Amino acid sequence: MKKLLILWFGLLACGLVFAAPPQKVSAVYEATRDGQPFATVTETFRQEGSHYRIESLTKGVGVYALLGVRRLSSEGEVTAEGLRPRRFEQQQGDRKPVVAEFDWEGGKLTMTNKNKVTTVDLQAGTQDLASFTYQFVFRAPEGDTVAMPVTTGKRLRDYRYQVTGRDQTFDSPLGALRVLRLNNQAADPNDEKELWLASEKHHLPARIVMRDENGAAIEQVLTGLSIE
């Protein structure tokens, strides 16, 4: 027992003991487009046993409310390697949802967009648009690069990020947060995305910077957070 206590306090001193992943997360983000209010994003993550479910709702502000609510959902299992999605849905307003189904046993990913069905080989560690940032809660970035296959429901893409900053401070609406910064450094500037992960908040995103299909600057900032 004495040796175990010594080892425990030794690991604490070295910063090698990490808090257990949360069972429930509620997060609110405010988004701007070229500096102007654009949308409010409300996200929930719940884990019950080995099952997880993520829901993300984006509601436009002002004229952008006419676009309807954007809904993302992901559900699957929590494994030793982190999140393992089974089904992902993306829906904009009243449009027909875009769906991705993960057949891990058969090694296939099936994506359905309108009436088009595409099936591709399912790569290890594949995530979806709703789950990929929550994967960092279970598998914090290590080293200088992060690579992750991600499906949008329409196609499968390889997300590759470079660590561009560690132990930096972000003065957020929730106060000063220690962040780890990731940048995908895409060849096309319109595909660039920067993630600011809150190191002391299970690496949940505190700020996301990207561009939309028209080249407008989109910034999403964490304004509310509850962790259980």
* HEC string for 184-227: CCCCCHHHCEEEEEECCCCCEEEEEEEECCCCCEEEEEEEEEEE
**Average pLDDT of span 28-39:** 96
Q: What is the mean pLDDT of the chain?
A: 90
- What residues form DSSP beta bridges with 211? 217
Regarding pTM above 0.85, the answer is yes
Question: Tens digits of per-residue pLDDT, 73-118?
Answer: 999 999 999 999 999 999 999 899 999 999 999 999 999 999 899 9
Please give the helix or strand (H or E) that residue 4 lies within, else none: helix 2-14
Are the beta carbons of 178 and 168 closer than 8 angstroms?
A: yes
- The residue ranges of every structural domain in the chain are 19-227
Q: Which fold has domain 19-227?
A: outer membrane lipoprotein receptor (LolB), chain A (2.50.20)
